Every structure is written in C-alpha cells, then in structure tokens.
Amino acid sequence: MSNIVAIVGRPNVGKSTLFNRLTESKDAITDDQAGVTRDRHYGLAEWLNKNFTVIDTGGYVVGSDDLFEDAIRKQVSIAIEEANVILFVVDTMEGLHPLDKEFAKILRRSKKPVYVVANKAETFDRNNQAHEFYELGLDNIFPISAESGSGTGDLLDAVITHFEEDAPENPFEGLPRFAILGRPNVGKSSFLNALVGENRSIVTDIAGTTRDSIDTHYNLFGKEFILTDTAGLRKKTKVKDSIEFYSVMRSLRSLEECDVCVMLIDATQGLESQDVNILRLAEKSKKGMILMVNKWDLVQKDTKTAKLFEDAIRKKLAPMDYIPIIFTSVVEKKRIFQAVERAVEVYENRKRRISTSQLNEVMLEVIEKYPPPFIKGKYVKIKYVTQLPTHTPTFAFFCNLPQYVQESYQRYLENQLRKHFDFEGVPLQLFFRKK
C-alpha cells in the first residue's frame, strides 16, 4: 500500500462522502450529525489506471465536549503519517473556520503534498468563495462537490502525479477474512488492538464507540489475514438512531463477506439470545465460527468453572455444538493468540476437500454399522458418497430412497463426518439424491 491518500479536516465537512465517492462505495457512514466517523477507515480506489488506498478519518477538533476528541486526533495523526498525499477538506457553505486555520498549521509542518478540497461547491457563488481558503497558506485548492462528484476528476488528476509506482488493484485479494462480532462493549476493539499491538480502533467503556467496520491487515507469526472490527450488534428494538442502524448493517455485511466469524461474548453476562441469533445467522451463511468468552479474568473460578460454563453454552447452542469455545482475557492478553490460531484452523477446515475414495471407505463402513432405520416398511440403502465442488463443505449421499432419510440420521452422518475428518467450527451441508 505505497500509494496512500488521507482525507482530513474538521467535523461535518464531507470527508466520508468524499471517501465513498473516491472508493465508489457506501462503506463509510455519512450523516448530518458531526462526529460520525471515529476510527481510521481504509478503502481502495483507482484513477487513470493508478490504484491507491484512501483513508477516511474523524473530524479534527480542539476544545470541544466530545468524549472522543483526543482519540480521534491521534487517529488523524497516524493517517497523516501514513499518507503520501493529504486531502484537506473544508466547507464552502460555512466558509473559513478557525479550526481550519489551526489544522492548516499542522498540515504545513507535515511537509507532505496537501490539497485543499473546497467541498459543497455545487453553485457558481460557492465555487468563487473557495478562493478565501488561500488564507490557509496552502496553494492547491480544488472546489468540488463530493455529493455529485463534480470537480473530483481534476483533483484526482493532480493527486496521482505524486504516485511513483503502480500499486496492485487489491493487495489483500485472496487473504482470509475474519470478522470480529458480538454485542456492544464485549471487547471487540480491544481484542483487535491487542493483536496488532497498536490502537487501531478507539476503545472506551461507552457502548457503540465503533461505528464503521474497520479492516486491518494482520501479518505476524507467519500468519496473514484481514481482521474486521465491527460495531456491536443489538436487538432491532434497541437500535435507536440512524447511525446505529447503519453501523449494524455494516456489521452484518462484514459477516456476509468474512470466511470466519470470531464471536465475542462477555463472561460476566454469559451467552444471551442475541449472541445465539448472530451465530445462527453465521451458520445460515455457511461461515466458519469460533466463540471467544472474553473478560474471563472477572469471573470467580474454581477447577470446574470453565467446564460448567462451557457445558451451559453448548446446551444453549445446540445443535451448533461443533463451535470451538476459548476462554480469554483481552486485558491480560490471555489466550488471544490461541483464539487466532483456532480461527486459522477453522478457516482451513472450511476449505478442506476429502477424496471420494477416502469418503466412501470411511462413511460406508459407518453406515453399515448403523444403517438408516426402516420407515413405512422401506429400507434405505446409501450406496455412494462424494464431496461437491462448493466453497463450503457439502456432501452428496446417493441412495435408493432419499425421501425417507430422517433428520436424526442426517445429524448422525454429519457428526460422523466431523469425527473422522475434523470439520470443527464449520457448518456442513448434506444432500441425499436418488442413485
């Protein structure tokens, strides 16, 4: 990611709208309310066959009553440090603001190419008003409308002149994607920060701190994948505003796009119905799954506590009892890397292919020892098994009377497949076809 463009500026000037425009997506949440974006949000863009990465940042502000002010400023500073080119977004509707002048001083010290993006210049008058921003002491001013896209072409023509080499279209294509999911305040962002060794996501005790789904490239200890930190998922009845609604939608989309769902729960609260609903959704989407019981350090324990806790969870999860459960403490960094290792194992299980000869050798013997029960005087004989060429483990059983294979026997076959071929953490699909 050598070609990086950071979008910075004070709150509510249209940074996220510009991010969505450049990346041709709707990944960043936009709203008239100031301070929607908090963390650094990365996206991929292309202009005239030049590929580059765009970073959306939170609004830079000083002396406000925003609880996240200091953390957002740190995220903005990191983005400026990473970037090759900086897009300093200002608002032509409001004109030159004291915060713009304050921030311009910081950008001049960065010694990096800075383009002043005079946003919301939809009219001729506002376009002319963009000249007042020369007072910032920065020469390159481009009046644009991030909403409609007007003026962005000229801006990008200037930006790509600073790219010395061609970046790949998507440097992370083909990497496994692990989505960190769970209810608010269970430790998702803290888990991500502990793994990457930096404050990648803002962490507070306030539920709903994370809003956007934040992708992070993990490349440590010989492992490489994409970790996605997501907003907390609550019941629909408890989602009170549009920002939280869109945060939840981004989280659900991250679940749909991931390979493995790393589900966090709070050990002090246990497994709740919303947690089970998320896991059922992951199972329906045929995703790999692991369950992390976080904040285990806060639980009073004896020698049987973990076993009893796990048994209670598996009872609630039934029939999804194939999900690995790991007890962790993100604060104390206990077993967090073990959780990553299990997620990688589940990813490998999800990709596993079993040869037809091996399948029939094992499964036909299993079926012979415990054949399908008689139904209405009919005897079901399974003659052949094969794995279908699908993205997730799917098996076809060919038999004489597929309509008489009972659900209980299907679960038996599924359990035997897991027992002999290690599909821990992965939903299996079984189809019965007439031979």
Tell me how far CA of residue 330 lies from CA of 48, 295, 319, 421, in angstroms: 44, 7, 28, 32
Q: Residue 1 pLDDT > 50, yes or no?
A: no
pLDDT digit string (tens) for 250-306? 778 888 889 999 999 999 999 988 899 899 999 999 999 999 999 999 988 888 889
**How confident is the model at residue 413, as a pLDDT?**
94
pLDDT digit string (tens) for 385-416? 999 999 899 999 999 988 988 999 999 999 99
| Cut 0.75: pTM above it | yes
Gap between the Cα atoms of 425 and 430, Å rounded: 16
Q: How confident is the model at residue 334 (pLDDT cuts 50, 70, 90)?
A: very high
378 beta partners? 375
Looking at beta carbons, which pairs linking 91-94 to residues 24 or more positions away fall under 8 Å? 91/12, 91/13, 91/14, 91/119, 91/120, 92/118, 92/119, 92/120, 92/121, 92/126, 92/127, 92/129, 92/130, 92/143, 93/120, 93/126
User: What does pLDDT average to over the chain?
Assistant: 85
DSSP state of 167: P
Q: Residue 241 pLDDT > 70, yes or no?
A: no
What average pLDDT does this structure show over 38-67?
79
What average pLDDT does this structure show over 348-371?
94
What average pLDDT does this structure show over 133-142?
90
**How confident is the model at residue 114, as a pLDDT?**
94
